[in-house]
């Protein structure tokens, strides 16, 4: 096979003239750079002050509107939208188009999302899925931005290849730039605008429409500050005012954090809102880094419980002994839980970048909207006049429709028929053409009455449109009413809380402020809780807690129903106490682990405690009897009448131990300090027997001893109360409430009795004692009994401690009706020593 020969090259022998042009490199670079910079500023990075959109965002919304992707129709693949925008309007990469589309669908980026996304459109910590996986359509708010584009409300400009046209700006029925904010980096300039609340911005715009000379202070009454999609708190408003006045400023945002009792022993900080564009994973990472670097202390764990149902929930567990408010201050300092936002309102006005304040931004938008409504009115007026012109011609022809048909049929061509109609009926060329173009089947729907009705309606609408064009006030009123309708339909409540300065609770203020009267923020909070004196409290309903100070306790603080103090121990915040249970066990407690009871109006909040069964591991059927000190001699009384004084010789390496060995079916009913031999031990039984004897009659024993006989019980009787009374206490009283054993508490009347303790004689240990309450008819037991420092108080059904009157008389006499004693509040549920 012969090889193919390449043709010989043709040599051009025509002489040419070399032309070298000298160009100044400096001038060329300046011109090229300025052209590039202007292209980036105008065509990419900066939003237009009128509709608040960058070119790519505007093209996406316009193309989706052109594709018919309305909210009432199905979603389509995002890749299809990106392809349409890239092929027809936006000659850039698909990644840039998709990124812009994703941001308009993220409810954490925009205050009022413009695209309804279906699928994974990303989060603050993760990117979105590929466009082939996600779907999208226009959100309801986006329809208001693109509405009336077919009514010549804005100018259209050619696309990049001059084959199609696109809107130069969208009609924008609401101030999108202020509502959704904007961010972009151009050449030599950047914009960063915060989102705002739609209702507030529209209210300011309407005020500006009604009062064109309104100043900044007037508008800030409606727009006090940004409203971020993620909520949170804005601390300090001076920077916001600077931004509204000059277009530049900054403000500080903080997470929304609550101090919660995560469990009976654990306190935590619960984060439910984060600063704008800060994700939980970023916060967790920064907290871990700060803890590892030993910048943050007091944090034991951090758990992200965020889900779609409950939203953001970041739980930061704290170590015992650390002040939650002080740890929170550290978190604000070292993590993104406190962030700053710099406002830079650089936008395009007539194609030129300008830095605008709040008044100028709203003025530009209002002028744009007035122009849109004016152009729409002109367009509609023209349409109405054209239709009226045709209806008037048809009315002329329909009077003699048969002759009109005969003229058309007898004419050789359409032009002749048009001329004859115009000359005979004095019609214009447009009217004649309209009659000629009518189909015969259209004549069935026409009637003179219907046409005259349409004519009147058109004339009325034309008069209204002309009135709008002839009156600037009426035109502004139309714009204002349309804005009000948008706010009514799409407005939502404010999410971000605005704080003039750092919010300080009364508790924190008390911790921060000194006695010299300086401002609270002058000194940082102490990180670890000081070992201050406090009270450890056990209540009748089984609630436990500690007070935050050493003030004398009172019985009038908030509480649960039928709740009072049953055991109170003076200790310190970092001290140890013990709890004695009904099974004779003693449990070691760290006071720091107990929940603090924040005071309400200076009184301890009993309702703020936690149930003992959640704080301690109790056996089946076991209850807490009392809190005691670990360094005092204790007196213990049981239901079967056993008494014991125990020495404070407890094991140091154990958390719980037996403090008394109980007989079968016996339980501890009372525990009290009894260090002195002159103290009086008191037993009160269910059958109203009272026995008191000196503590010296009971020698102190070891913790494993079983005690000794305290009171001799009759058959079927049991001990209802055991306590210790100091003989020097002249105000000591004995309080008893009698009732029937067969009725539920509060369902049968009973009698209450208060007697001075001094009236009861001391008897020997292991005797039966004396009668303390004479039962009336229908009474067979003591429902409640108590002895101690008076006056006694009873807890009512409303949770309020009521004082009982002292009824002097025979110690073994009957009591007064319970309704008279405590104002008909029903039987008391517990007794307590108010001291």
d(C-alpha 312, C-alpha 271), whole Å = 7
- Asked if residue 792 has pLDDT above 70, the reply is no
Residue 814, pLDDT score: 60
Residue 513, pLDDT score: 46
**Contacts of 671 by beta carbon, 8 Å cutoff, 6+ apart:** 580, 625, 626, 628, 634, 635, 636, 637
Burial label, 814 (beta-carbon count in 10 A; 0-12, 13-18, 19+) = middle
- Asked if residue 529 has pLDDT above 70, the reply is yes
The segment with the largest mean pLDDT, out of 280-289, 430-439, 537-546, is 280-289
Residue 747, pLDDT score: 58
**Cβ atoms of 422 and 432 closer than 8 Å:** yes
Report the pLDDT averaged over residues 639-650. Answer: 90
- Tokens standing for residue 304: 């992200």
Residue 194, pLDDT score: 95
Structure confidence by residue, pLDDT tens digits, 19-57: 888 888 887 787 776 676 666 666 678 999 999 999 999
pLDDT-based confidence at residue 395 (cuts at 50, 70, 90): confident
Residue identified by tokens 């109609």 is 421
Structure confidence by residue, pLDDT tens digits, 315-366: 999 988 788 888 999 999 999 999 999 999 999 998 889 999 999 999 999 9
Structural domains in the chain, sorted by start: 665-835 (2.120.10.90)
Structure confidence by residue, pLDDT tens digits, 93-143: 899 999 999 999 999 999 999 999 999 999 998 999 999 999 999 999 999
Q: Give the active site residue among 133, 244, 332, 446.
A: 133
The distance from CA 562 to its chain's CA centroid, rounded to whole angstroms, is 34
- Tokens standing for residue 95: 């990644």
**Cβ atoms of 229 and 110 closer than 8 Å:** yes
- Asked if residue 788 has pLDDT above 90, the reply is no
Residue identified by tokens 């709203």 is 362
Report the pLDDT averaged over residues 497-509. Answer: 64
The segment with the largest mean pLDDT, out of 239-253, 400-414, 427-441, is 239-253
In the chain, DSSP finds a helix count (H) and a strand count (E) of: 20, 42
pTM of the full predicted structure?
Answer: 0.75
Residue identified by tokens 């509709």 is 51
Report the pLDDT averaged over residues 657-672. Answer: 91
Report the pLDDT averaged over residues 238-245. Answer: 94
Q: What percent of the chain has pLDDT over 90?
A: 48
- Asked if residue 795 has pLDDT above 60, the reply is no
pLDDT-based confidence at residue 514 (cuts at 50, 70, 90): very low
Residue 150, pLDDT score: 92
- Asked if residue 516 has pLDDT above 50, the reply is no
- Asked if residue 599 has pLDDT above 80, the reply is no
- Asked if residue 797 has pLDDT above 70, the reply is no
**Cβ atoms of 127 and 120 closer than 8 Å:** no
Structure confidence by residue, pLDDT tens digits, 140-199: 999 999 999 999 999 999 999 999 999 999 999 999 999 999 998 877 788 999 999 999
The per-residue b/e assignment along 739-771, b for 16 or more CB within 10 angstroms, e otherwise, is bbeeeeebeebbbbbbbebeebeebebeebbbb
- Tokens standing for residue 543: 């609630």
Structure confidence by residue, pLDDT tens digits, 611-628: 888 778 888 888 888 999
Question: Is 160 a known active-site residue?
Answer: no
Burial label, 94 (beta-carbon count in 10 A; 0-12, 13-18, 19+) = middle
pLDDT-based confidence at residue 519 (cuts at 50, 70, 90): very low
**Cβ atoms of 648 and 632 closer than 8 Å:** yes
Residue 4, pLDDT score: 55
pLDDT-based confidence at residue 683 (cuts at 50, 70, 90): very high
**What DSSP line would sit under 345-411, residue for residue?**
-EEEETTEEEE--HHHHHHHHHHHHHHHHHHHHHHHHHHHHHHHHHHHHHHHHHTTHHHHHHHHHH-
Residue 832, pLDDT score: 39
- Ranking 185-199, 222-236, 251-265, 436-450 by mean pLDDT, the lowest is 436-450
Residue 560, pLDDT score: 65
d(C-alpha 535, C-alpha 409), whole Å = 111
User: Is beta strand 182-185 parallel, antiparallel or unpaired with respect to 267-273?
Assistant: unpaired
Residue 817, pLDDT score: 59
Residue 654, pLDDT score: 85
- Asked if residue 209 has pLDDT above 90, the reply is yes
Strand, coil or helix: 247? coil
**Cβ atoms of 233 and 257 closer than 8 Å:** no
Higher-confidence position of 371 and 563: 371
Angular region, 274: left φ>0, alpha ψ -120 to 50, beta rest: beta
- Tokens standing for residue 547: 């007070």
- Asked if residue 605 has pLDDT above 70, the reply is no
Report the pLDDT averaged over residues 664-679. Answer: 87
**Cβ atoms of 214 and 90 closer than 8 Å:** no
Report the pLDDT averaged over residues 81-100. Answer: 93
Report the pLDDT averaged over residues 252-261. Answer: 91
Residue 734, pLDDT score: 85
Expressed in percent and rounded to 5, the helix, strand and coil fractions of the chain are 35, 25, 45
Higher-confidence position of 443 and 713: 713
């Amino acid at each position: 096979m012969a090889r193919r020969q390449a043709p010989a090259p043709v040599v051009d022998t025509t002489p040419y003239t070399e032309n070298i042009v000298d160009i100044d490199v400096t001038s060329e670079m300046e011109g090229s750079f300025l052209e590039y910079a202007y292209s980036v500023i105008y065509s990419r990075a900066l939003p237009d002050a009128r509709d608040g959109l960058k070119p790519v965002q505007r093209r996406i919304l316009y193309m989706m509107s052109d594709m018919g992707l309305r909210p009432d129709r199905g979603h389509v693949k995002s890749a299809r939208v990106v392809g349409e925008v890239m092929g027809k309007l936006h000659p850039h990469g698909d990644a840039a188009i998709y990124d812009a589309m994703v941001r308009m669908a993220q409810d954490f980026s925009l205050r009022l999302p413009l695209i309804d996304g279906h699928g994974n459109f990303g989060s603050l910590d993760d990117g979105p899925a590929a466009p082939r996986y996600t779907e999208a359509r226009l959100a309801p708010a986006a329809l208001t931005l693109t509405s009336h584009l077919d009514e010549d409300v804005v100018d259209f400009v050619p696309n990049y290849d001059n084959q199609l046209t696109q809107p130069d700006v969208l009609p924008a029925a609401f101030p999108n730039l202020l509502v959704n904010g904007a961010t972009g980096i151009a050449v030599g300039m950047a914009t960063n605008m915060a989102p705002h609340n739609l209702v507030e911005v529209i209210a300011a715009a309407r005020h500006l429409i009604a009062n064109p000379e309104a100043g900044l202070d007037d508008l800030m009454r409606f727009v006090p500050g940004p409203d971020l999609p993620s909520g949170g708190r804005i601390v300090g408003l001076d920077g916001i005012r600077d931004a509204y006045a000059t277009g530049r400023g900054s403000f500080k945002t903080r997470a929304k954090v609550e101090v919660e009792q995560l469990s009976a022993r654990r306190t935590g900080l619960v984060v439910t809102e984060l600063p704008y564009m800060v994700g939980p994973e970023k916060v967790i990472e920064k907290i871990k880094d700060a803890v590892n670097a030993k910048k943050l202390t007091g944090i034991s764990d951090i758990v992200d419980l965020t889900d779609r149902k409950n939203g953001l929930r970041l739980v930061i567990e704290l170590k015992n002994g650390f002040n939650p408010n002080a740890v929170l201050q550290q978190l604000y300092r070292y993590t993104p839980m406190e962030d700053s936002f710099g406002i830079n309102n650089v936008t395009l006005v007539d194609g030129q970048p300008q830095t605008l304040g709040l008044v100028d931004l709203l003025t530009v938008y209002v002028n744009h909207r007035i122009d849109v409504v004016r152009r729409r009115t002109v367009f509609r007026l023209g349409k109405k006049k054209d239709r009226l012109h045709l209806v008037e011609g048809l009315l002329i022809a329909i009077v003699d429709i048969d002759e009109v048909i005969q003229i058309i049929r007898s004419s050789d061509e359409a032009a002749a028929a048009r001329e004859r109609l115009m000359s005979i009926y004095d019609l214009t060329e447009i009217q004649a053409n309209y009659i000629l173009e009518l189909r015969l089947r259209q004549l069935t729907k026409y009637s003179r009455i219907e046409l005259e009705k349409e004519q009147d309606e058109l004339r009325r609408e034309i008069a209204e449109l002309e009135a709008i064009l002839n009156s600037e006030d009426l035109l502004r009123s139309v714009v204002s009413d349309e804005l009000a309708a948008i706010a009514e339909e799409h407005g939502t409540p404010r999410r971000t809380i605005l704080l003039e300065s750092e919010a300080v609770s009364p508790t924190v203020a008390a911790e921060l402020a000194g006695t010299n009267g300086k401002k609270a923020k002058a000194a940082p909070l102490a990180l670890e809780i000081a070992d201050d004196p406090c009270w450890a409290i056990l209540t009748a309903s089984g609630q436990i807690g500690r007070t935050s100070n050493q003030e004398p306790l009172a019985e009038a603080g908030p509480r649960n129903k039928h709740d009072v103090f049953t055991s109170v121990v003076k200790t310190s915040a970092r001290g140890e106490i013990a709890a004695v249970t009904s099974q004779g066990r003693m449990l070691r407690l760290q006071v720091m682990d107990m929940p603090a009871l924040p005071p309400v109006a200076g009184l301890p909040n009993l309702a703020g405690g936690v149930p003992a069964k959640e704080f301690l591991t109790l056996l089946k059927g076991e209850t807490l009897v009392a809190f005691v000190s670990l360094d005092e001699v204790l007196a213990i009384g049981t239901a079967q009448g056993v008494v014991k004084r125990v020495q404070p010789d407890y094991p140091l390496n154990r958390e719980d131990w037996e403090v008394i060995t109980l007989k079968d079916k016996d339980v501890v009913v009372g525990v009290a300090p009894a260090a002195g031999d002159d103290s009086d031990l008191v037993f009160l039984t269910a059958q109203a027997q009272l026995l008191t004897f000196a503590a010296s009659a009971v020698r102190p024993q070891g913790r494993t001893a079983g005690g000794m006989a305290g009171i001799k019980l009759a058959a079927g009787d049991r001990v209802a109360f055991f306590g210790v009374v100091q003989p020097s206490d002249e105000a000591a009283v004995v309080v008893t409430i009698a009732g029937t054993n067969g009725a539920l508490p509060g369902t049968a009347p009973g009698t209450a009795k208060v007697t001075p303790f001094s009236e009861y004689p001391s008897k020997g240990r292991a005797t039966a004692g004396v009668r303390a309450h004479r039962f009336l008819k229908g009474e067979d037991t003591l429902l409640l009994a108590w002895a101690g420092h008076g006056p006694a108080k009873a807890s009512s059904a409303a949770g309020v401690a009521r004082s009982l009157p002292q009824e002097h008389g025979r110690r073994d006499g009957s009591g007064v009706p319970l309704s008279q004693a405590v104002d008909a509040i029903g039987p008391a549920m517990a007794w307590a020593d108010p001291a």
